């Protein structure tokens, strides 16, 4: 039985659907039991646990062949990343108690970077889980194509997307969450020893200009990408309610300056199948 955290989200949901499609038993780990009904109807066991709570997590992982860890996103962390550290401590304690046969943990492109940034939260998770006694795989996907959900309204209504990724013609590795879930399902069913890192991107890289062109195709209207100047970010993010914009700004710097990227050579990075246009089509049809 595979215990899947984050199952009500994009990656966890895609992963669970892959496992269920091939008849594998799944335990849906949810924090809100009312959100588990759809998974119970598909034949999943249900366990309720918060990623911050070691005892409920340990119970949710008990007897599992494999556990999938989806660290919750925290876009505005307090200095020192206390939110991520609480999750890391809880997950580590739960894995040590439940001792599942193996673990796949969702990490990120750039988790190996030395500079402190938003993704340091995953660097810390990787450091902690490297000490676990069972085999652990870190799946490091590229920038999610689904992040373009933030751009659909402005592209559709105004023909513009505001780009923090720059320059506008610099290709960025991107991947669909459906591919992330599919690959995570494959990894969970494999046998390996020790710690491994698997990096994943989509079929082709996309620059912000390519994203705008793809949105233009899907929306059937002109769309252009526009740079959001670096010196405006901090004030802008604070206006949007962020209290600690620096980690997010440094993450964007990392992509733009090139110190956030894949660790392995390009022929070792796995390639997904889902094209950007497919994801954008789904995002646009969801908005209509």
Ligand X SMILES: NC(=O)c1ccc[n+]([C@@H]2O[C@H](COP(=O)([O-])OP(=O)(O)OC[C@H]3O[C@@H](n4cnc5c(N)ncnc54)[C@H](OP(=O)(O)O)[C@@H]3O)[C@@H](O)[C@H]2O)c1
Binding site for ligand X (CB under 6 A): 6-12, 31-32, 35, 50-52, 70-73, 106, 108, 122, 141, 143-144, 147, 177
Residues 165, 171, 176, 179: is their CA dihedral positive or negative?
Answer: negative
**DSSP label at residue 62:** T
- CB-CB contact of 54 with 94 (8 Å): yes
In angstroms, what is the minimal distance from the CB of 90 to ligand X?
A: 9
In angstroms, what is the minimal distance from the CB of 223 to ligand X?
A: 20
Structural tokens at position 160: 């513009």
Please say which residue, 70 or 276, places its beta carbon nearer to ligand X. Answer: 70
- From 280, 278, 274, 146, select the one nearest 212 (Cα to Cα): 280
Q: Which residue is nearest to ligand X (CB)?
A: 9
In angstroms, what is the minimal distance from the CB of 43 to ligand X?
A: 19
In angstroms, what is the minimal distance from the CB of 220 to ligand X?
A: 26
Place of tokens 């009904």: 37
- CB-CB contact of 167 with 229 (8 Å): no
Please say which residue, 70 or 283, places its beta carbon nearer to ligand X. Answer: 70
Residues 250, 251, 256, 260: is their CA dihedral positive or negative?
Answer: positive
- CB-CB contact of 168 with 207 (8 Å): yes
Please say which residue, 159 or 259, places its beta carbon nearer to ligand X. Answer: 259
Please say which residue, 221 or 264, places its beta carbon nearer to ligand X. Answer: 264
In angstroms, what is the minimal distance from the CB of 61 to ligand X?
A: 13
Please say which residue, 73 or 264, places its beta carbon nearer to ligand X. Answer: 73
- CB-CB contact of 91 with 142 (8 Å): no
């Amino acid at each position: 039985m595979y215990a899947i955290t984050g199952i009500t989200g994009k990656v966890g949901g895609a992963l669970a659907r892959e496992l269920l499609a091939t008849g594998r038993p799944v335990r849906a780990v949810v924090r809100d039991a009312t959100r588990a009904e759809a998974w119970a109807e598909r034949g999943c066991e249900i366990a309720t646990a918060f990623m911050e709570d070691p005892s409920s997590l340990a119970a949710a992982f008990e007897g599992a062949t494999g556990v999938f860890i989806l660290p919750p996103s925290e876009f505005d962390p307090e200095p020192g990343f206390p939110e991520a550290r609480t999750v890391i401590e809880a997950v580590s304690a739960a894995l040590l108690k439940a001792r599942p046969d193996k673990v796949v943990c969702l990490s990120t492109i750039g988790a190996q970077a030395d500079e402190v940034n938003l993704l340091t939260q995953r660097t810390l998770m990787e450091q902690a889980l490297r000490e676990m006694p069972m085999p652990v795989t870190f799946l490091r996907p590229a920038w999610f194509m689904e992040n373009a959900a933030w751009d659909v309204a402005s592209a559709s209504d105004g023909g513009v997307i505001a780009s923090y990724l720059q320059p506008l013609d610099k290709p960025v590795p991107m991947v669909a969450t459906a591919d992330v879930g599919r690959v995570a399902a494959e990894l969970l069913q494999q046998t390996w020893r020790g710690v491994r890192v698997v990096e994943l991107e989509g079929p082709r890289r996309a620059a912000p200009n390519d994203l705008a062109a793809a949105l233009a195709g899907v929306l059937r209207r002109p769309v252009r990408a526009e740079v959001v100047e670096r010196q405006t970010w901090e004030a802008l993010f604070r206006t949007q309610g962020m209290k600690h914009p620096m980690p997010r700004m440094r993450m964007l710097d990392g992509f733009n300056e090139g110190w956030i990227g894949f660790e392995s050579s390009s022929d070792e990075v796995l390639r997904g199948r889902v094209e950007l246009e497919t994801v954008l089509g789904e995002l646009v049809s969801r908005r209509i």
